[in-house]
Amino acid sequence: MKILNIDFIKHKHPFIIGAFVFIIGCLVYGLFKIYLLIPDYNSLSYQDNNNHSFNLIVPQKLDFCGEAIPTNNVKINRALAEEFYDNTYWKNNSAILFRKAQRWFPVIEPILKQHGVPDDFKYLAVIESHLSNVTSPAGAAGFWQLVPVSAYNFGLEVNDFIDERYHVEKATVAACHLIKQAYSIFKNWTLAAAAYNYGINGIQRALDCQKTDNYFDLLLNDETGSYLYRLLAYKTLLASPKHFGIQRHHHFNQGSPMAFKMVKVDTSVTHLMYLAWHLGCTVKELKDYNPWLLKDFLVNPARKSYEFKLPKNSKIDYSDYLNDVMNEKTNFSNALKSKIDSLLVAPMDTVAQEKTLIHYVVKINEPLKNLAEFFKVNEDELRKWNNLKANEIAVKGQTLVIYQ
């Protein structure tokens, strides 16, 4: 067998060595291009999203509150793909969502942290309401879409006069309590998120019936079955928009912060017009910035302390903020205008126009039913007028408001 003589090639056939070098160079370039220039499409960083342009595929590495998502499962990957790419809302409205996130995440994040709820739950408010005080046909309301029973159970006041589900900060605290209650049962943040949508009892029944202990093995209704995948999609959109080919512009991170002054009120207010005069603002401002107050007056015989929010800097445009906090089903402007016009002629309490207002000092501890029968009023209305719960009684020395 003959061995190739390099010296022979070098001196006798110089074109052969040139071809040999060319082939080696092509191989090195090909390997360099394949392994070094092509980005890794199967990894996604939520921290550094400015160095790579991601392809439109589902990231292989996803987590919710630090709990890994099994994206290698074909069924789960398909469910993720549907939420990631079937929703055309994103590219058309991503700029709006970025601005909303910039406006509200700094409000929500500290509250979540204070109550020991993972930061990823801020995206729950995004998919529930798109960070707006909306009201659903089913009666859920506010940023966190709380139903009246849940809101009431976790400390919010909800009645015909006040609905604190529209108070973003207080509603966030109530949502934290609900999420933590679910986590205390399931010991799993993924199931806690699903329970927020489906209810703790609903998830528990599904786990028991289907003999499993995790969300990804459950057969649920369409909404709850895709709930977590939608959360992950919005998390990716807002944390790493380049994954969807969306450029987050620099002006999203700029702008003056919206500062507010808080005014505490611990008395009844016959009409907001008088409070507005005292605070040097308009009735419309009071209503717009405090949508939790449903009426034009405040009934507060128990002298509970309420905080009214008003803009601190008149030079800043608060219109976007107001668009978010205003209850979409309520248009206060025209109603307030007509009400103020009538009050300028004859100022009086809205309810008192039809009934006589009585301030009654309770003589002995007794059930509200007895007082309702004595004054010939409805017991439920008596409770609403005085912000009293179903199990509360009239306490000696307490002043009750009664419209007789």
* Secondary structure (DSSP) of 212-249: -SSGGG----HHHHTHHHHHHHHHHHHH-GGGGT----
User: What pLDDT is attached to residue 65?
Assistant: 93
For residue 345, give the H/E element and its range: helix 332-345
d(CA 332, CA 147): 22
Residue 173, pLDDT > 90, answer yes
pLDDT band at 62 (very low <50, low <70, confident <90, very high): confident
Could you give the percent of the chain with pLDDT greater than 70? Answer: 71
Verify that 236 and 267 share a domain, yes or no.
no
pLDDT band at 246 (very low <50, low <70, confident <90, very high): low
282 SS3 class: coil
Verify that 229 and 286 share a domain, yes or no.
no
Residue 47, pLDDT > 90, answer no
pLDDT, tens digit, 9 for 90 and up, residues 96-133: 888 899 999 999 999 999 999 999 999 999 999 999 99
Verify that 233 and 277 share a domain, yes or no.
no
User: What pLDDT is attached to residue 18?
Assistant: 66
* Segment among 201-205, 265-269, 301-305, 313-317 with least mean pLDDT: 313-317
Largest CA distance in the chain: 124
pLDDT, tens digit, 9 for 90 and up, residues 174-188: 999 999 999 999 999
Verify that 103 and 227 share a domain, yes or no.
yes
pLDDT band at 11 (very low <50, low <70, confident <90, very high): low
Verify that 15 and 135 share a domain, yes or no.
no
- Give, in order, the Cα–Cα distances in Å from 39 to each of 22, 54, 234, 242, 268: 27, 8, 23, 14, 64
Neighbours of 361 (CB within 10 A): 10
User: What pLDDT is attached to residue 61?
Assistant: 82
Residue 79, pLDDT > 70, answer yes
CA quadruple 383, 387, 392, 398: dihedral sign: negative
The better pLDDT of the pair 99, 4 is held by 99
User: What pLDDT is attached to residue 364?
Assistant: 72
Residue 323, pLDDT > 80, answer yes
The better pLDDT of the pair 314, 114 is held by 114
Torsion of CA 147, 148, 151, 155, to 10 degrees: 180
Verify that 230 and 84 share a domain, yes or no.
yes
Verify that 77 and 168 share a domain, yes or no.
yes
Note the pTM of the prediction, 2 decimals.
0.67
Q: Total structural domains in the chain?
A: 4
Residue 37, pLDDT > 70, answer no
Burial 164-193 (b: 16+ CB within 10 A, else e): bbbbbebbbbbbbbbbeebbeebebbbbbb
User: What pLDDT is attached to residue 70?
Assistant: 86
Neighbours of 75 (CB within 10 A): 10
295 found inside a domain:
yes
373 found inside a domain:
yes
Facing residues of 298 across strands?
269
The better pLDDT of the pair 90, 230 is held by 230
pLDDT band at 329 (very low <50, low <70, confident <90, very high): low
pLDDT band at 306 (very low <50, low <70, confident <90, very high): very high
Q: Which domain holds residue 85?
A: 63-250
Verify that 118 and 244 share a domain, yes or no.
yes
User: What pLDDT is attached to residue 119?
Assistant: 96
User: What pLDDT is attached to residue 284?
Assistant: 92
pLDDT, tens digit, 9 for 90 and up, residues 345-396: 333 333 333 456 676 767 677 788 888 887 788 888 888 887 777 777 887 7
Average model confidence (pLDDT) across the chain: 77
Verify that 223 and 305 share a domain, yes or no.
no
CA quadruple 231, 235, 237, 242: dihedral sign: negative
User: What pLDDT is attached to residue 257?
Assistant: 63
User: What pLDDT is attached to residue 235?
Assistant: 87
Verify that 126 and 246 share a domain, yes or no.
yes
User: What pLDDT is attached to residue 223?
Assistant: 87
State the Cα angle at 20 between 18 and 24, rounded to 5°.
120
* Segment among 128-142, 282-296, 370-384 with least mean pLDDT: 370-384
What are the structure tokens assigned to 84, written together? 């990631």
What are the structure tokens assigned to 333, written together? 């402007």
Verify that 299 and 390 share a domain, yes or no.
no
1 found inside a domain:
no
Could you give the percent of the chain with pLDDT greater than 90? Answer: 37
